[in-house]
Every structure is written in C-alpha cells, then in structure tokens.
Chains A and B, each alone.
Chain A
Amino acid sequence: QLQLQESGPGLVKPSETLSLTCTVSSGSISSNNFQWGWVRQPPGRGLEWIGDVFYTGGTSYNPSLKTRVTISVDKSKDLLSLRLDSVTAADTAVYYCTRRVPNTSLRDSWGQGTLVTVSS
C-alpha cells in the first residue's frame, strides 16, 4: 500500500519561502508514470489544487499561484517537493501531497497532510 508523508516547517514568516517535501514509501515515485501533486486546505475552508508534476517532468499549476509555486520530483530519493515563494497569512493551510493516475481524475493516494502557519 503506497504511503505518502509530508514534512517541513510548521511555521513560516511572511514574505519568506515555504518548502515542503513528500516522501513516497511502499512504492516508487518513478513507477507506472503516475502524476504527483499538491492540494491545500486553509483552516475551516475548502480544498484548493496547487499543481501537479507529470512523469515527463512537465508541470501544471493553479493560475492563482503560478508565479510563486514550483513543484518537482527527485526520482533517486522518491521525493516530491513544493516551494511557495513570498508567502502571506493567506497561505496558512494544511498541505497534502497526492498521486493521480494519468488521464483520469483518480487521485487515489493522499498524505496525512501537514499544517503550515504563516506568521511573524
């Protein structure tokens, strides 16, 4: 059973960079051409898609975050990464890493999520 686990700082200062990683276990990030991505959820609010990275290395981002976000994979370490620049309090959220089957909406694996608070 594939497992995803997010990790990173729980507190980030405004204007700084949020960096998270997602470790893939009981599976490989480079197997079967899955697509990997991030979804976030501000406290008490709904889900927001951040972006996906494809097995080709290409990426797709939420237009509202596109200028600040970078998603990448390190296949040698089975790591998925998220970088969000110039954060504000509005970026406070639980961040989830996910896996999706290509050419479907089957986003079948989610990490447990990690809360990141943006505050000075």
Chain B
Amino acid sequence: QSALTQPASVSGSPGQSITISCTGTSSDVGNNNHVSWYQQHPGKVPKLMIYDVSNRPSGVSSRFSGSKSGNTASLTISGLQAEDEADYYCNSYTSSNTWVFGGGTKLTVL
C-alpha cells in the first residue's frame, strides 16, 4: 500500500485559514469514512484532531474541521494561531482491512 499524499508544507499568517489535503485512492480515502488527522509537535506524541472525516474528539478546538470529497480528505484550520505550528498527518482505513498514513505536512505560522 502506498502512503497517502500530503503537501510537504503549508503556511499561513495568524488569524488566517489554511487547508491541508490528503489524497488517496478508491481503495482507501475514497472507499470509507474512516479518515483521521493527527497533530504532532516536535518531540511530542501525535494528538488526534479529527476522526471519521469530520468528527472532533472532546477537547479539540472547533477551529479544526475535516471534510472529504472523492479520494481526497482535507483538514482546515481557521483562525490560525502560533500554537498550531506543527506537523499534521492524515490516516485512512483501506479496503484490505489495514491503515495507511500520509507523509505528513509541516505547518508554519508566519
């Protein structure tokens, strides 16, 4: 299975909105709604931000939202804050009963 495709980096200014894409295939992202997003600060444990495409776990800011269209899932962060600067990873279930991560996106807050 191949890793999901994410942009290597994205950037935005405080207060702006950014979107990170995660492109897969009809065998993973396009096949089900079990897509999740993780935030990881340097040296820290990944933190679940979105699960099942658009659901936020308890305690996650409403500034984070998820969506999906076809084989591409997206994470949108609105009202960008300095603390949002981190690496972000998407993760999808596959038709082979396995899971696959994206390569990761580095978000820089300018």
Contact = CB atoms under 8 A, between A and B. Distances in A.
Interface of A: 39, 46-49, 52, 60-64, 96, 104-108, 110-113
A106 B103 contact: no
A104 B96 contact: no
Contacts of A39: 46, 101
Size bin of chain B's contact surface: 20 to 34
Nearest to A110: B45
B98 A46 contact: no
Given A104-B51, A105-B52, A112-B45, A48 B35 contact: no
Contacts, number: 61
A63 B35 CA distance: 19
Nearest to B34: A105
Contacts of B55: 106
Contacts of A48: 101
Nearest to B32: A105
Nearest to B102: A46
B36 A105 contact: yes
B51 A46 contact: no
